Structure 1
Amino acid sequence: MSASKLQESGDVRIAHSLHTKEEEFVVKRREIVFQSLQKHEIHCSQNKVPHIALLSSGGGQRATVGLLECLVQLDKAGLLDCILYLSGVSGSTWCMASLYQEPDWSTKLETVKDNIIKRLSGPGVSWGDAFAKLKKYYNGKDFFSLTDIWAAIVVTTYMKEIDEHTLTDKWSQLGKDPFPIYTATDKQSKQEEGGDPWFEISPHEAGYSLSGAFVETSNFGSQFDNGSKKKHQAEIDMLYLQALCGSALAGEDSKEFIWGKIQGAAAFEDNPNSPPVEKWYQVLMDLVDMNLCVLNVKDPSALDQSIRTMLNGKNLAGGKSQLIFPTQKLNLADKEAAKLYMKQYTEDVCNYLSQFSLGPFDIFLSICRCMALWIWGRNYNFLHNMTDESVPSALLRSETRDFEDAGLLLNSPYFSVLRKERDIDLIISLDFSEGDPFMTVREAADRFKKLNISFPEVNIPSEDLEKPKDFYVFKGQNAPTVIHIPLFNVVNCGDEVEAWRNKYRTFQGPYSAEKITEVMEVAGKNISNNREKLKEQIAAVVGKKAHN
């Protein structure tokens, strides 16, 4: 069956080629790029138009508002129309989701920016609305995970909205904006030898960038068997997509933060009055509090005793099995052992309670189980039971896959744009990372070298490691040119680089209007101060492409 027929049928597509609709978009977008180059007196033939990708790293709200202002400054410089692809990780995808709500946003960016900033600076989503959305996820999907909780409780806190649009219903083939690519990683593949962790989601396809295995975006999350759709699931909405791509706290050291959020969500619900549901509810609340105690190295023995009394007493009748509590003592002095103890304790209590019908509190039981098992982004595996030697065998066996923030593996979406078929000539990398401002580009160079994918050598002057500049260019003989732009640098921050980093950490509450303005001003200077350098590098890749 041809690739186009596969795309029409909704089956899995395994091929190192672009989706036909992406190919059609590229043809149209290249004309816009061509016209933009002519305005800057950068001349090339229409069949030699350079493919330029703008990459934006993760970095929480720092990346969200930083990317927004960089795009505004590119627009003011007349360079936004030179961009073919826009790809993001984590917090940058939050900005992208807001932009692509508005068709042809790049033609009215100042207005779009003002609307986004007004929302981010305004009132948040109410607990009632957030919890109603969480229930909607719980009741409407085959798999419920911490990503659903992250979407409803955390992303809404930062983005101040519940975006229920889908990626496909907001995309027009006639769109005048750069082609968006959202990125995540396959959690199991990170831990498997020879796995393919790099996962991309575009308006047309979702799938593995390196293996070339894709499914229609509208079918991502549906159940497949041997390449054919078996059971349809509704397309994921943009709120969930932002959580899938922007769940950087999926690192195990964030459990206290998430248990705290769950505690707040549980407290929102009215406490039930009728036993035994009241007892079930109390067990779950004690279980949440017990986890928080252990994470804060506080004695949870009173909570433990309360749970044991209720579950082993006569308060909960009708169970098919009795809960066997651990006999060993909880050792708070050994943090790792204490974490493992609570993981098993939580899982055992949840498994026991699952015998009963908890009514409205089934959702909290599921949340506690997800916390114990640390389940993020679980979806059906569209490659299940397929046979194809070009795809890692582990991807073909499992019925489900778990997805998480790509920033936990590499905090910039290089893998999405460096698929050979996208033929990228120039990458403009905006780096909003916390800490080492060169980590992403150096790690990318190392990873691509191991995979035999063309990428320029990355050499950073030793004096720049502590005092980064605002513009770096890396070139190679048969590799795309990479422009690397760190957010905080000696040009826009002077000697206060470290102070700026400390003021704008990744994991802090939603920014005030003042903080949003400050980050945008700093980020914008990285573009406005380097307009001519950007034009020079664009002209250089045009010349290189013409020569080749």
Structure 2
Amino acid sequence: TNTTLSLQEESALSLLTVKVVQAAHIPWADLMSNADCYVCLWLPSCTNKTVQTRTISNTSDPVWNETFQFTLCNNVKNVLHLMLHDEDVITKNDLLYTLTFDVGKIPIGETKLETFRLNPSGPETLQVQFTVQEFKGYCEKILTNGVIVAREMTCLDICVDKQRIPENLKGKRLTLVVEDSCEKKSKLELSPCTGVADHMQTCRFHYVTRWDPKLTADLEGTDQQNIQIIPVRSLHMGQEQKILISPVPARPLEMKLKTKDCTEKLNVRMGFSLCDDEKLYLSKRKKIVANTLKKLLNLDRDLEAHEVPVIAVTTTGGGVRAMTSLYGTLSGLKKLNLLDCVTYITGASGSTWSMSKLYEDPNWSQKDLSPHIQDACRSVTKSKMSAFTFERLGFYREELSTRAKMGYKTSFTDLWGLIIESMFYDGVNDAKLSDQKKALAHGQNPLPLCLAMNVKANECSTLDYKEWCEFSPYEVGLLKYGAFIRSEDFGSEFFMGRRTKPLPESRICYMQGLWSNIFSINLMDAWYAAVSSENFWHCFTRDAVHELDDDEEALRKRRLSSSDLSTRLVEPPSNFNRKMREILTNRPLDGSHHNFTKGLQMHKEYSTHEGFCTFDDTKLDNSPNNLTPFTEELCLVDSAYYINASFPPLLREDRKVDVLLSFDYGLSDKFKSVERTKKYCSDQNLCFPNVEVSEEEKANPKECYAFQNCGNPKCPTIVHFPLVNDTFKRFKHPGVERLTDQEKEEGIVQLDGRSPYRLLNPTYSKEDFDKLINLTEYNVENNEKMILEALRQAITCKQTCKPRDYGTEMH
């Protein structure tokens, strides 16, 4: 069992009163009249609903003096959106301006009148009065890791007895809406009872306890004035209450309602440390690594726990090329007796395909890898046309339809996963990600970690918004928020940290489709991949945002409390820009999944928490209402959209990796993966060695490079292997020259031009497969000395430096 590392806090509650006073100098909306203005208020930490003022017609200086109230949880980041609209009877209402205001700036017990500038260079203003009052004697217990917050939650259960449905209502539909809930809407078909076990129809709504939801019950055929609206707070907690609904008073429909506190423990682990299962694995693996290093390096004594280096293998994507190359890499490490020194293996895209197959064998690294390589050869060299027959397409359709009925989010990514399964497996593969825990039970294999990125489906390019999502046999987690769930629970529905609809764990093929989701691309990503620049298109895809807190007093307060967010003015895009954004950022083949952080809210000091990893170019990090916990779905794509590498899971501080064996399976730009990772680490203040390669070496790269940690014990040493054919052309084994014509032919591996290993080629000849296996195996074996030297230096560094707190001991 993994402990939840979140802390319980007592959060005071406050009452926020917002009085929308007036606006001034609003420009004409059309040629015929002044604007017809109204203001919408959106505060999603307090309600799902958007509330609005009345419309003031035909004036540039509308006056409302309307008041709205919200119940605040003080330990949550409460950011209010104020949106000024122009109402239009004929066409769609125009959004004129959007303001975001951090309510935490208003001290409790004070009233503040704010006049917001709506145009940095014009006279337009909006005047709003804020009052925050303490709810004395009321508080709320929350759970938080300092970035995300789980609040108290309540369930509303609704039940209809089919045996008591009046004849005149059978076959009709009952629509139930609780807007301030996770589910929002549910529909019950009032079908006849078919048996004793089938006589109850139920549904459940989950909502934040401190909210004030209302249940709307709309029975088909009922007049609009007879729709039932029931304040949920009027129900007595834990007591069943009957409600009668009917178009005919003499024959009503009976509905039973009951509310109860959701006291279940969180199913989301909130914390930035490693889970207990991984810590236990590390204590077992460390002993194996220590014994192996002693023999391999001829050490004169056993290593103490703090002297054992953490060694990791990290790989890139590249489709079948990456899948094949990883087999060769691991074979080379196996022949050098280095596999038992490795604690982690990370994969991205195609390299995860071979990892998934290997970990079906609980003892794969303890065995000869030849049978695994022969099996891979058979699947890589066979024709892939069978994956696209009418019979197979029918199977895909039926499989995806079944998943959708079960409640999974389905997308093209799932179809791609089924195609991968058909191409590289003989039939349906029932293996699951959590099954790989058997391969870790005794620390007998390296721990596999796979990587994806969470992006915005239709709003931003990948470079403008991205978050790392890590997959292990133990957990799936969004690193930025310190939010993790059991790997078995990925795909289930969650709200406020609790699993609200459990679903069976998906087969591994669906994970493979997700990890290699190269198809969820938009035009912005394609443009960047082609020319490495998005600058021209940013005017269409990024909002025009202006910081309004530029006076001395506001700046002084922000310096005293850096968690306060500045007030921002967001200019809505023109119709042309809006259409361009839709074209450039839409992902027609996205990969949507249930969001396990759904409903969780942002802590009031989330932006200053050291665990909250952000990207410099991700502007939405300062707009908490647009972050992942407030979205319905995850959109997970191949990490190669940003860095074609799998370094990030190994850079988590608690993993304390000392040596990274980096294998880049790209056909061009052999150092791009490490150079981009270096830039990422510089932006994040993470330790990563300098990557210095001359232009001459980039043009003619060697087989192996060592990028040293320069004496910083927290900085890993990188031993980098580009995919090159250097000395392999002359040597079939290290030190054994090629003599015959056949041997020389076997040394010709075409890695450029019309290479057989290009990304979109799923089928190799046996000759090409063998060449790539032999090349990647040779490149490892031929650089044994460099690898062993890196291991010796890592041990020396750990022996001479102050021990780091590893948290696990060898048992």
| TM-score in terms of structure 2 length | 0.51
Within-5 A mapping of 1:412-491: 412-476=645-709, 477-478=711-712, 479-491=715-727
Amino acid at match of 1:397: F
Query: 376-385 vs 34-43, which deviates more?
Result: 34-43
Specify which of 173, 185, 200 is matched with residue 453 of structure 2.
Answer: 185
Cα 1:445–1:193, aligned 2, differ >3 Å: closer, same or farther? closer
Q: Take 1:430 and 1:488, find their aligned partners in 2: how far apart are those partners?
A: 11
Determine if the alignment matches structure 1 residue 510 to structure 2 residue 763: yes
Whether 2:359 is the aligned partner of 1:145: answer: no
Q: Is the 8 A contact 2:519 2:589 kept in 1?
A: no
Aligned to 2:597: 383
CA distance in 2, matches of 1:244, 1:102: 22
CA drift of 1:74 comes to 0.5
Question: How big is the shift at 1:16?
Answer: 1.2
Distance in 1, matches of 2:281 and 2:324, equals: 27
1:149 and 1:36, CA in 2 relative to 1: closer, same or farther beyond 3 A?
Answer: same
Residue 213, structure 1, aligned to residue 483, structure 2: yes
- The corresponding residue for 1:25 is 281
Q: Any conservation in 2 of the 1:13–1:214 contact (CA below 8 Å)?
A: yes
Paired residue type of 2:467: P
Higher relative contact order (CA 8 A, sep 6+): 1
Range with greater deviation from structure 2 (165-174 or 454-463): 165-174
- Superposed CA offset, 1:260-310 (max 9, x none): xxxxxxxxxxxxxxxxxxxxxxxxxxxxxxxxxxxxxxxxxxxxxxxxxxx
Letter in 2 for 1:27: S
1:89/1:245 contact within 8 Å kept: yes
Residue 429 of structure 2: SS of its match in structure 1?
coil
- Gapped runs of 5+ residues in structure 1? 256-336, 345-370
Q: Structure 1's 10 and 216: CA in aligned 2 closer, same or farther, altered over 3 A?
A: farther
Q: Paired residue for 1:92, among 351, 369, 375?
A: 351
Give me the whole-angstrom Cα distance separating, in 2, the residues matched to 1:2 and 1:525: 41
Quick check: 1:51 aligned with 2:310?
A: yes
Question: What are the Cα deviations for residues 328-370 of structure 1, in whole angstroms up to 9, with x where unaligned?
Answer: xxxxxxxxx9xx99x99xxxxxxxxxxxxxxxxxxxxxxxxxx
Cα shift at 1:176: 1.1
Residue 652 of structure 2 aligns with an amino acid whose one-letter code is: R
Amino acid at match of 2:433: L
1:38 to 294, 312, 327: 294
Q: In the alignment, is the contact (CA less than 8 A) between 1:185 and 1:404 conserved in 2?
A: yes
**How many angstroms does 1:383 deviate by?**
0.7
Does residue 532 (structure 1) correspond to residue 785 (structure 2)? The answer is: yes
Correspondence for 2:123: none
Mapped to 1, the partners of 2:312 and 2:430 lie a distance apart of 28
- In the alignment, the residues of structure 1 paired with residue 601 and residue 772 of structure 2 have an alpha-carbon distance, to the nearest angstrom, of 49
The question of whether the paired residues in 1 share the 8 Å contact of 2:5 and 2:271 is answered with no
Q: Higher strand fraction: Structure 1 or Structure 2?
A: 2
Tell me, what secondary structure is at the counterpart of 1:180?
Answer: strand
Q: Which amino acid aligns with 2:402?
A: N
Alignment of 1:159-238 (within 5 A): 161-172=427-438, 173-174=441-442, 176-188=444-456, 191=461, 197-238=467-508
8 Å CA contact retained: 2:290, 2:308 = yes
- Tell me if the contact between 1:102 and 1:112 (Cα under 8 Å) persists in the aligned partners: no
SS at match of 1:429: strand
Residue 254 and residue 540 in structure 1: after superposition, are their counterparts in 2 closer, same or farther (change >3 A)?
same
1:123/1:103 CA distance change after superposition, 3 Å:
farther
- Please tell me whether the aligned partners of residues 319 and 762 of structure 2 are also in contact (alpha carbons under 8 angstroms): no
1:120 aligns with 2:380: yes
Of 641, 644, 653, 1:411 maps to 644
Offset, 1:5: 8.6
User: Which of 346, 363, 366 is residue 104 of structure 1 equivalent to?
Assistant: 363
244, 251, 258: which one aligns with 2:521: 251
Cα 1:192–1:122, aligned 2, differ >3 Å: closer, same or farther? Answer: closer
Distance in 2 (CA, whole Å) between partners of 1:210 and 1:25 is 24
Amino acid at match of 1:68: Y
Identity of counterpart residues, as a percentage? 27
Give distance in 1, aligned partners of 2:588 and 2:599.
25
User: In structure 2, what is the Cα distance between the partners aligned to 1:23 and 1:501?
Assistant: 46
The higher radius of gyration belongs to 2
8 A Cα contact 2:383 2:763, kept in partner? no
Larger proportion of helix: 1
Closer, same or farther: CA 501–192 of 1 in aligned 2, 3 Å: closer
For residue 151 of structure 1, what is the amino acid of its counterpart? Answer: G
Give the drift of 1:498: 7.1
Question: For structure 2, which runs of at least 5 residues remain unmatched after alignment?
Answer: 7-263, 526-575, 607-611, 613-620, 731-746, 802-811
Q: 3-state DSSP class of the match of 2:453?
A: strand
Distance in 2 between the 1:515 and 1:413 partners? Answer: 26
- 1:426 Cα offset (Å): 0.7
Q: Does 1:542 pair with 2:795?
A: yes
For the residues of structure 1 that align with 2:353 and 2:321, how far apart are their CA atoms?
11
Partner of 1:308: none
Q: CA deviation at 1:196?
A: 5.1
Q: Which amino acid aligns with 2:595?
A: N
Decide whether the 8 Å contact of 2:467 with 2:478 is kept in 1. yes
SS in structure 1 at match of 2:519: helix
CA drift of 1:38 comes to 1.1
2: CA distance between counterparts of 1:159 and 1:460? 40
Query: Which secondary structure state, in structure 1, belongs to the residue aligned with residue 601 of structure 2?
Result: coil
Q: CA deviation at 1:164?
A: 2.7
8 A contact 2:379–2:424 mirrored in 1: no
| Alpha-carbon shift at residue 422 of structure 1 (Å) | 0.5
Q: Output the amino acid matched with 1:418.
A: L
| Equivalent position SS for 2:442 | coil
Kindly indicate whether the alpha-carbon contact (under 8 Å) linking 1:184 and 1:199 is maintained by their aligned counterparts in 2. yes
SS of residue in 2 equivalent to 1:509: coil
CA–CA distance in 1 between the matches of 2:393 and 2:289? 41
Match of 2:13 in 1: none
Contact 1:42 1:539 in 2 (8 A): no
Does the Cα contact within 8 Å between 1:434 and 1:501 map onto a contact in 2?
no
In the alignment of these two chains, the number of paired residues is 438
**1:300 match:** none
